[in-house]
Amino acid sequence: MAEIRSAVPLLIAFIDLTRFAAQSQRTDDLELAETIEAYYEHVSAAVRAGGGSVVKFEGDAALIVFPAIAVDRGVETLLALKAPSTTS
Q: What is the pLDDT of residues 59-87, one digit of tens each?
A: 999 999 999 999 999 999 999 999 876 55
Considering only residues 85 and 22, tell me which one the structure prediction assigns the higher pLDDT: 22
Q: Are 70 and 51 a contacting pair, CB within 8 Å?
A: yes
What does the pLDDT look like over 44-59, one tens digit per residue? 999 999 999 999 999 9
User: Which domains are seen in the chain, by residue range?
Assistant: 10-82 (3.30.70.1230)
Residue 20 in this model has a pLDDT that exceeds 80: yes
